[in-house]
């Protein structure tokens, strides 16, 4: 428990005081966000420094490491793998952002190259989580689908890797699509991360290695997973201070891919893969809006929304930007209440 609080506190401080430094540095170097030309009237956002996600990634890693160092609590395979997934996807996003800035267009890596990067890192993660058993023979994940726990028969290594790659690519792209209004993605992610800190702590309290009850959880290192969730939540919190509307810095693909990665990693290692679509329902809705828009347009030539992703639809309907952000946060909070409710009710005897 001490490690959780220390890790969250350190990454909060680092992000809170590191972000203004990043703003100054990035502004001086001219690393501003180019705005996609077909977006709503966001032209005033051109020039706001981007790639703020680097601060989130660095602060999360530093908070995790320092928390362990100060409490001399050993690190765990699960925690380190999730953080490596986060950093790896953050790197893919960073390349994308950097190319955008370098070429001065709003299109970065070609979408094929970006997807390939996500797939390689996702596959590495998927293979690694099946290895590294602890003293009880538990690995960070098993080749199973999971909702509130693992369920069904084992699906085999290959299918599992493909499934995890899809999940990671899906989650990181969903967070990426949700980014685009000041504070929206950061604030929504903080909420889901806080939910995962609670889930990790709860799984630790009801861990099968602690006491054998019929509803106990067979999860490797639940407490350390809570440390990761808390460290990232702390980093997002500090970043949101500066990212609050009107944003002084934008997280960029660096941030959105990294955050999507950490959410997917947390879901895999806490064995709640399919609970994540409920907890992160907002991201799912926004990603669905794009799929529906594109699919329907290709089929019929008509649009369903004025613009996709969904947040821009409401902007064009005349909602103020802050109204959309706060209302979408509320939807996110509702999804989390529902998800945590399901998680808790299933546990009740």
Q: Which residues would be at the binding site for another protein (CB under 8 A)? A: 1, 5, 8, 12, 183, 187, 201, 237, 240-241, 244-246, 320, 322-323, 326-327, 330, 333-334, 337, 341, 344-345, 348
DSSP 8-state code for residue 151: E
Minimum gap (Å) between residue 323 Cβ and another protein: 5
Phi and psi for 32 in degrees, rounded to 5?
A: -90, 165
Minimum gap (Å) between residue 143 Cβ and another protein: 33
Minimum gap (Å) between residue 239 Cβ and another protein: 10
Closest by CA position to 225, among listed 192, 198, 185, 254 = 198
Nearer to another protein, 127 or 337 (CB): 337
CA distance 293 to 300: 11
Nearer to another protein, 15 or 121 (CB): 15
Nearer to another protein, 27 or 322 (CB): 322
Minimum gap (Å) between residue 30 Cβ and another protein: 24
Nearer to another protein, 305 or 319 (CB): 319
Nearer to another protein, 129 or 279 (CB): 279
Nearer to another protein, 30 or 341 (CB): 341
DSSP 8-state code for residue 45: G
Alpha helices in 72-220 (DSSP H): 77-103, 111-129, 157-178, 184-205
Closest by CA position to 278, among listed 182, 180, 202, 199 = 199
Minimum gap (Å) between residue 174 Cβ and another protein: 23
CA distance 128 to 269: 11
Bridge partners, 290 (sequence order): none
Minimum gap (Å) between residue 345 Cβ and another protein: 6
Give yes or no for a contact between 145 and 152, defined as CB atoms under 8 angstroms apart: yes
- Structure tokens of 184? 């929206």
E strands, the chain, where? 145-146, 150-151
């Amino acid at each position: 428990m001490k490690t959780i609080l220390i890790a969250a506190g350190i990454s909060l401080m680092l992000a809170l005081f590191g972000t203004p430094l990043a703003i100054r540095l990035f502004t001086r170097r001219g690393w501003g966000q180019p705005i996609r030309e077909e977006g709503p009237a966001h032209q005033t956002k051109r020039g706001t420094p981007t790639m703020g996600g680097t601060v989130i990634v660095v602060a999360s890693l530093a908070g995790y490491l320092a928390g362990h160092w100060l409490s001399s609590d050993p690190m765990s395979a699960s925690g380190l793998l999730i953080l490596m997934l986060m950093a790896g996807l953050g790197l893919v996003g960073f390349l994308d952002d950097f190319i955008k800035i370098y070429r001065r267009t709003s299109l970065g890596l070609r979408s094929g190259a970006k997807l390939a990067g996500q797939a390689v890192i996702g596959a590495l993660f998927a293979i690694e989580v099946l290895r590294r058993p602890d003293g009880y023979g538990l690995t960070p994940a098993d080749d199973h689908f999971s909702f509130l726990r693992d369920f069904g028969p084992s699906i085999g290594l290959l299918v599992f890797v493909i499934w995890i790659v899809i999940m990671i690519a899906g989650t990181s792209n969903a967070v990426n699509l949700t980014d685009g209004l000041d504070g929206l993605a950061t604030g929504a992610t903080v909420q889901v991360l806080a939910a995962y800190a609670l889930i990790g702590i709860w799984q630790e309290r009801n861990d099968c290695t602690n006491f054998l009850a019929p509803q106990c959880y067979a999860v490797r290192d639940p407490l350390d997973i809570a440390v990761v969730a808390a460290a990232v939540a702390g980093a997002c919190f500090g970043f949101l201070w500066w990212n609050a509307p009107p944003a002084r810095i934008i997280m960029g693909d660096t941030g959105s891919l990294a955050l999507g990665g950490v959410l997917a990693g947390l879901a895999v290692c806490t064995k709640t893969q399919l609970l994540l679509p409920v907890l992160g329902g907002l991201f799912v809705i926004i990603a669905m809006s794009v799929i529906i828009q594109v699919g329907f347009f290709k089929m019929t030539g008509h649009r369903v929304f004025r613009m996709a992703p969904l947040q821009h639809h409401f902007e064009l309907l005349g909602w103020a930007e802050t109204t959309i952000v706060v209302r979408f946060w509320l939807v996110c909070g509702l999804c989390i209440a529902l998800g945590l409710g399901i998680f808790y009710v299933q546990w009740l005897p």
